[in-house]
Amino acid sequence: MGVAYTINCKQCSYNQNVSLGIGFNYLDLKSILEWYQQEEGRQQILKYMNEEDTSFECYDGLYVCQQCGYLLNRTFLHITSKDYSYTNNFECPCCHMQMPKKPLLDEIEENFLKCPDCKDEELEIQAYLDWD
């Protein structure tokens, strides 16, 4: 199950809604292929979805740029077979640095995220919806 959060800064106007977690369409690679948008990942799903020894991890997460603090809500996908491994990756839309390999998931409320706009204030994080 996933959770939707609203993220706000008290000092400036920064506001973002993010969805984290998994839903029913994340349970097998065939289902993921129906909605997954990144072309490289789609090719990897097609290549390995019928392999018996393939495992995967897929969820919506929050990537935090280590350079500028930009918050990017995207799908994490990691596919592993006996002799191969693929992990999607993202570039920060703001500073163009490589985002971390793995995003935050359910530990978002325990992390003290700084506002990516004003860089001063700790963000308020409030869950507002369970989704699947």
In the chain, domain spans: 2-131
* C-alpha atoms less than 13 angstroms from C-alpha of 95 in its C-beta half-sphere: 13
- Taking the CA atoms of residue 128, residue 72, residue 56 and residue 125 in that order, the dihedral angle to the nearest 10 degrees is -30
Q: How confident is the model at residue 110 (pLDDT cuts 50, 70, 90)?
A: low
Give the model's pLDDT for residue 7.
Answer: 94
Query: What is the average per-residue pLDDT within 99-128?
Result: 86
pTM: 0.91
Q: DSSP letters of 65-110? A: -TTT--EEEEEEEEEEETTEEEE---B-TTT-PBPPSS-B-GGGGT
